Amino acid sequence: MITEALILSAILFVVGTFGVLVRRNAIIMFLCIELQLNAVNLAFVALSRLVGIDGQVFVFFVMTVAAAEAAVGLAIIISIFRHYESVDVNNFNLLKW
């Protein structure tokens, strides 16, 4: 069971990584980052069956942090949308990407 869960978490993590690298919409990129974090959560829960309770505690912290990050991240996306009327990162070109 643990192996399957770890494989699933690795797949989710890779999907998230590719999403960030390939997609150009800031909100989708942010969602892919959330997918990465949740893949990590899955890995923590699976591993904690193997080695001890710490991993499950960690998951709570990760969820809290992810929520805080979402608050700040979406605020930044809104503020950039006010300037550019777009959330496509290809349109932001004052600084070289």
Partner 1 sequence: MELDFSRQLHYVWALLPEIILCVWGMGVLIAGVSGPAHRGEDHAVSEDPAFGTGSGLGWVSLVGLLIAAFFNGWLYTLDEVGRGAVVAVDDFRLFANWIFLGGAALSILISFTYVYRNRLQAGEFFSLILFATAGMMFMAGARDLMLLFLGLEVMSIAVYALTAFNRRDRRGAEAGLKYFLLGAFATGFFLYGIALVYGATGSTNIDTIAAVVSGGRAREGFLTLGIALMTIGFAFKVSAVPFHMWTPDVYEGAPAPVTAFMSVGVKAAAFVAFIRVFLVGFESVSDQWYPVLWWLAAITMVGANLMALSQTNVKRMLAYSSVAHAGYLLVAVAAGNETAAAGMLFYLLVYTVMNVGAFAVVIGVAHQGEERLQIEDYSGFGRKRPELAVFLTIFLLSLAGFPGTGGFMGKIYLLQGAAESNLWYLATILVLTTVASYYYYLRVAWYMWMRETTSEDQHDLVVTPLPMKAALIIAVAVVLYLGIFPSSMMEFARAGVEGLGALGGGLLGVHP
Closest contact distance (angstroms) between CB of 51 and partner 1 is 4
The reply on whether position 68 binds partner 1 by CB under 8 A is yes
Query: Cα–Cα distances in Å, from 37 out to 20, 33, 72, 83, 92?
Result: 13, 6, 16, 29, 26
Among 7, 63, 76, 86, binds partner 1 (CB under 8 A): 76
Coil, strand or helix at 95? coil
Kindly determine how many residues on this chain lie close enough to bind partner 1 according to the rule CB under 8 A: 44
Contact flags string 7-26 toward partner 1, x per CB under 8 A: ------x--xx--x-----x
Which residue, 7 or 61, is less far from partner 1 as judged by CB?
A: 61
Q: Please, which residues have CB within 8 angstroms of residue 1's CB and are 6 or more apart in sequence?
A: 46, 49
Residue 28 in the binding site for partner 1 (CB under 8 A): no
Which residues touch 11 (CB under 8 Å, ≥6 apart)?
Answer: 39
